[in-house]
């Protein structure tokens, strides 16, 4: 029982000393060429992406880093995904498969195209959708798959390519959280028809808000470019032409591109550091009874937007929620659970466009209903997951103290079982 604990082992939650004895390492994110490029952008006397040079420079750099054939700048990651679907001709009544464990930005474009989201369960250990589970969700209405490389951990892309090809589906990679991640040494964002990246303020690199969409095919690039810019034909004559189809204004500005370019210059450094910390953490907790570390496939190189572990309550003697509280008391920036789109009123109450249940009640008689239980692994993940932040400014000591805190909390509950 608890009587065997030394003073050092006493949980901070119960008045013991904190495991995290020093503050987390911090640093300035915008400490490189950002200001210089912003100034250059302003000196151009235009901030329009088509007239200035910054967006071009950003995209050239992006293409050379991730080895993409084509890329377009957009206003956000959400916009990138909508553009991918619009340019890929996903429309009215089509079904699009995606995982529920993701940001709402993954699903917005589907509904905006009046298509229907079909949620596919995840592997509870990697938190990723798998090709086997995806296959089970295919119907004659399926037109696209959006894979989400959650937390910087890559999905099994060869299998997804096969699946998409066999079934004539558009394959979209949501790379918002996976800057710099690789599958079999190839950067994510280059496997599918489209790769969609976010530059929002919480991602590996940021320009405040912004996004990039990559593709291997010129025709998709042209289509994406036009869709994101009100269907103006800027790649042909460069002149405005009357809109041929419905497009949106998802343009990036030269100011966003200037900051994005400076940030891209730091990407490899940021990702290397995060990878090192993430792997160190996962190895450090790998032998603790009752904890299941995030699974990274041997073929994957994770860029660790975050990491974490699941708590097996029976073996660990504690719920994930209580484990997270104990870690927080130890001074660790841990948090319990994550986002499950199947917990949102948008789906549970089927309230997409306000004042109507369209497209969930589809005019041809189809009815789409959503329940949290539709994806049991996702629910299980939500109940058992503890998120551990990874940051390039953390120090080796931060990681060591985090591992120590996890060990300490786990040992305490093991001994009091
Ligand atoms: C997995 C995922 N997809 C899409 C998005 C949407 O990106 P943005 O916020 O740039 O629209 C996010 C952002 O949090 C995300 O994490």
Local mean pLDDT, 10-residue blocks, the chain (417 residues): 66 97 97 96 97 98 98 98 98 98 98 98 98 98 98 98 98 98 98 98 98 97 95 76 86 98 98 98 98 98 98 98 98 97 97 95 97 98 98 98 98 92
Give the β-pairing of 335-336 and 385-389: antiparallel
Burial 327-364 (b: 16+ CB within 10 A, else e): bbbbbbebbbbbebbbbbebbeebebeeeeeebbebee
Q: How far apart are CA 87 and CA 279, in angstroms?
A: 37
What residue spans define the domains of the chain?
A: 2-27+267-339+377-415, 34-266
The answer, yes or no, to whether any atom of ligand 1 lies below 6 A from the CB of 176, is: yes
Q: How far is it, in rounded angstroms, from Cα 414 to Cα 288? A: 10
Q: What is the pTM of this model?
A: 0.97
What CA–CA distance (Å, rounded) separates 244 from 267?
A: 38
Q: Whose CA is nearest to atom 10 of ligand 1?
A: 77
Topology of the domain covering 34-266:
3.40.640
Atom of ligand 1 nearest to the CA of 149: 1
Whether ligand 1 lies within 6 angstroms of the CB of 177 is answered as: yes
DSSP 8-state assignment for residue 48: B
Output the CA 290–ligand 1 centroid distance in Å: 31
128, two tokens: 């990723």
Query: Which ligand 1 atom sits closest to the C-alpha of 198?
Result: 10
Token pair listed for 264:
């891209």
- CB of 77 closer than 6 A to ligand 1? yes
Q: Is the CB of 340 within 6 Å of ligand 1?
A: no
- DSSP, collapsed to helix, strand or coil, labels residue 411 as helix
In 3-state terms, the chain is what percent helix, strand and coil (to 5)? 40, 15, 45
Which CA distances in Å does 126 have to 148, 149, 243, 337?
12, 10, 43, 14
In short, whether 100's Cβ falls inside 6 Å of ligand 1 is: no
Ligand 1 in reach of 253 Cβ (< 6 A): no
Does ligand 1 lie within 6 Å of residue 190's CB atom? no
Query: Across the strands, what pairs with 178?
Result: none
177 alpha carbon – ligand 1 mean position (Å): 7
CA angle 58–230–54, rounded 5-degree value: 15
Cα(232)–Cα(235) distance, rounded to whole angstroms? 9
Distance in angstroms between the alpha carbons of the first and the last residue of the chain: 8
Length of the chain: 417
Q: Contact at 8 Å (CB) between 175 and 189? A: yes
Atom of ligand 1 nearest to the CA of 148: 1
CA 25 / ligand 1 centre spacing (Å): 25
The helix (run of H) or strand (run of E) holding residue 308 is strand 306-311
What secondary structure letter does DSSP report for 416? T
Could you tell me which CATH number the domain at 2-27+267-339+377-415 has? 3.90.1150.10
pLDDT for residue 402 = 98
Indicate the top mutation candidate among 176, 209, 340 to test ligand 1's pocket, ranked by most ligand atoms within 8 A of CB.
Answer: 176
Please report, to the nearest 10 degrees, the dihedral formed by the alpha carbons of residues 387, 391, 397, 398 taken in order: -40
> What are 23's two structure tokens?
């503050």
Q: What are phi and psi of 411, to 5 degrees?
A: -65, -40
Phi, then psi, of 384 in degrees rounded to 5:
-120, 0
- Give me 205's structure tokens: 């690199």
What pLDDT is recorded for position 240?
Answer: 64
106 lines ligand 1 (CB under 6 A): yes
């Amino acid at each position: 029982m608890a009587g065997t604990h030394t003073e050092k082992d006493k949980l901070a939650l119960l008045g013991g000393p904190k495991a995290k004895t020093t503050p987390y390492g911090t640093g300035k994110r915008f400490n490189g060429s950002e200001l210089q490029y912003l100034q250059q952008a302003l000196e151009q006397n235009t901030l329009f992406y088509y007239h200035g040079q910054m967006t071009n420079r950003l995209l050239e750099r992006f293409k050379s880093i991730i080895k993409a054939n084509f890329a377009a700048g957009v206003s956000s990651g959400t916009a990138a995904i909508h553009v991918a679907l619009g340019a890929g001709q996903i429309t009215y009544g089509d079904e699009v498969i995606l995982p529920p464990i993701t940001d709402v930005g993954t699903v917005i474009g589907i509904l905006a195209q009046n298509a229907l989201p079909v949620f596919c369960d995840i592997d509870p250990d990697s938190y990723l959708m798998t090709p086997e589970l995806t296959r089970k969700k295919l119907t004659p209405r399926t037109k696209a798959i959006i894979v989400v490389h959650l937390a910087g951990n890559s999905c099994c892309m060869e299998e997804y390519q096969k699946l998409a090809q066999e079934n004539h589906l558009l394959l979209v990679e949501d790379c918002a959280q996976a800057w710099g991640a690789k599958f079999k040494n190839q950067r994510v964002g280059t496997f599918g028809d489209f790769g969609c990246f976010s530059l929002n303020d919480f991602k590996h690199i940021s320009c405040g808000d912004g996004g990039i969409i990559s593709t291997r095919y010129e025709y998709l690039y042209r289509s994406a470019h036009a869709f994101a810019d009100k269907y103006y034909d800027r790649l042909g004559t460069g002149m405005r032409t009357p809109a041929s189809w419905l497009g949106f204004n998802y343009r990036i500005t030269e100011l966003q591109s200037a900051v994005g370019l400076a940030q891209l210059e730091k990407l490899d450094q940021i990702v290397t550091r995060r990878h090192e910390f993430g792997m160190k953490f996962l190895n450090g907790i790998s032998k603790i009874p009752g904890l299941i570390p995030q699974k990274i496939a041997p073929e994957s190189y994770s860029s660790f937007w975050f990491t974490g572990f699941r708590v097996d309550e029976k073996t660990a003697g504690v719920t994930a929620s209580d484990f997270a509280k104990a870690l927080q008391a130890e001074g660790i920036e841990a948090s319990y659970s994550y986002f499950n789109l199947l917990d949102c009123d948008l789906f549970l109450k089927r309230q997409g466009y306000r004042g109507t249940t369209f497209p969930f009640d589809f005019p041809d008689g189809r009815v789409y209903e959503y329940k949290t239980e539709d994806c049991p692994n996702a629910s299980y993940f939500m109940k058992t997951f503890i998120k551990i932040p990874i940051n390039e400014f953390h120090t080796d000591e931060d990681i060591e103290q985090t591992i120590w805190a996890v060990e300490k909390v786990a040992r305490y509950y093991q001994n009091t079982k």
